[in-house]
A and B are shown apart, each in its own frame.
Chain A
C-alpha cells in the first residue's frame, strides 16, 4: 500500500518536474533549449551517487550482520544506480553534441562517471555469476565496498588528469550562480528523481525478498 502511494507520488512529482523543466523554467539565454537536458542530467547523477552510497551501506551491513535484507538493499540500489549513471552519460552526450560539438570527450567528469558505470556494471555481472545466496552476497559486498571507497580516488585521479567540464555549480563551495527559476525547476526534478529511485528501490527489494523466499 505504501509502495503504491509512493508510486503515485512519484508520478505526480515527475509530471511536476516536466512542467517545471519545459513550462516554468525560462529558455536559457546562451545555450537555448538544449540546456533543459540539465533537468534530467543533474538529478540523474545525484540520484546515482545516492544509490551507490546505499550499495556501500548495504554491503557493510551484510558483512556485519549477515542478514539477507542488507544484501537486498545493496542489489536494489545498484541496479537503479547503474540505470541513472547510464542516463547521466547518455543525456550528457546528447547535450555535448550541440554545445561542445562532440558526443564524447575524455574530460574529467565524463571519464570518472564512465568509470563509475563500469565498476557497477561489473558488480552486477558478478552477482549474476553466483547462485548460492550467502556466497553471492559476500562477494558482492566486498566489491561494493571497494567500489565505493574508490569513488573519491577515481574522482581526484581523473580530475588531475584532465579538466574541461565546468566546475560543479550545485555542490561547489561558492554560492550557486544559477537563476532562481532554473534552480527551482532543478530542485523539483531532483525530488522527483529521488522519489522515483525510492520507488524502484522498494519494488526491487520486494521482488528480491519474494525470490529469496521461493528459492529457499
Chain B
C-alpha cells in the first residue's frame, strides 16, 4: 500500500475507532432516519398510492437530510485537543486526508441508506428485492456526489460562526444536480425499467462525481490550513 493510500486509510480507521468507542453519531443518525419515516408518513397521509408515487423523492430526501447532519460533523471532531493542528502537520499530500474523510462519510451514508431502505420496505410494505442491483448503482453514484461536496464544505465551514446554518445553505444548491439525477434514476429503477433507461442520468452522476472529486482533491489543502 502506498504512503498516500495508507494515510487516507489511517484517517478512516481513526474515525471508525473513535465512533465505535464514543457511539456519538451513528446511533443518533439511524434514529433520525426512523423519525424521518414518521414525518414522511404524517406529511403524505395513509394513502398508499401517494407514498408509492413519491417514493424516489422521499428516499433521497431522507438521504440528503441525514447527509446534512452527518457531513456537517465530519471535521468537528478535529477541533478538539488540537487535532486540527495534527492534520495540518501530517506530512505529504493533504488530499489523502480529504479522501479518508470522504470514505468515512460514504461508509456512514451506506449504513443510513441501508437502514432507510429497510425501514421503507417494512413500514410501507414495499418489495425492493427486484430492484436492488439497480438501486445500489444509483445509490453508489449519488452518495459519492453528495459526500464529496459535503466533505469539502464540511471542512470549509468547520471553523466558522453559524456553521450549522451556513453548511446546508452552501451544500443544498451545490448538490441540486446530484439530487435531480439521483431521483430521476431511482424513479426509472423503481418503475422496473432496465438500468439502461437511466443511462443518461448515471453518466451525469458519474461526471458530477468526478468534477467534485477533482475540485475537492485540488483545493483541500487550502481548506485545511484553518
Contacts and interface: CB of A to CB of B under 8 A. Distances in A.
Interface in A119-169: 119, 122-123, 125-126, 129-130, 135, 138-139, 141-143, 145-147, 149-150, 153-154, 156-158, 160-161
A52 to B, nearest CB: 13
Assign chain A's interface to a size class: 20 to 34
A139 B184 contact: no
Interface residues of B, number: 34
Given A63-B222, A122-B170, A129-B162, A157 B152 contact: no
B208 A126 contact: no
Contact of B166 (A118, A125, A153): A125
Contacts of B59: none
A9 interface: no
A115 interface: yes
Nearest to A66: B222
Contacts of A126: 156-157, 160, 166, 170
Given A125-B166, A129-B161, A157 B149 contact: no
Contacts of A153: 177, 204, 207-208, 211
A138 B225 contact: yes
B192 interface: no
Contacts, number: 88
A88 B59 CA distance: 33
B160 A146 contact: no
Interface in B110-168: 149, 152-153, 156-157, 159-163, 166
B180 A161 contact: yes
B46 interface: no
Contacts of B200: 160
Contacts of A145: 215, 219
B169 interface: yes
B212 interface: yes
A150 B169 CA distance: 16
B181 interface: yes
A57 to B, nearest CB: 15
A157 B176 CA distance: 8
B180 A158 contact: yes
B26 interface: no
B151 to A, nearest CB: 12
A149 B148 CA distance: 14
A157 B204 contact: yes
Nearest to A62: B222
Interface in B12-44: none
Nearest to A141: B222
A122 B184 contact: no
Interface of A: 63, 115, 118-119, 122-123, 125-126, 129-130, 135, 138-139, 141-143, 145-147, 149-150, 153-154, 156-158, 160-161
15 contacts: A122-B166, A125-B170, A126-B160, A129-B162, A138-B222, A142-B215, A142-B219, A143-B153, A145-B219, A146-B152, A146-B215, A146-B219, A150-B174, A157-B208, A158-B176
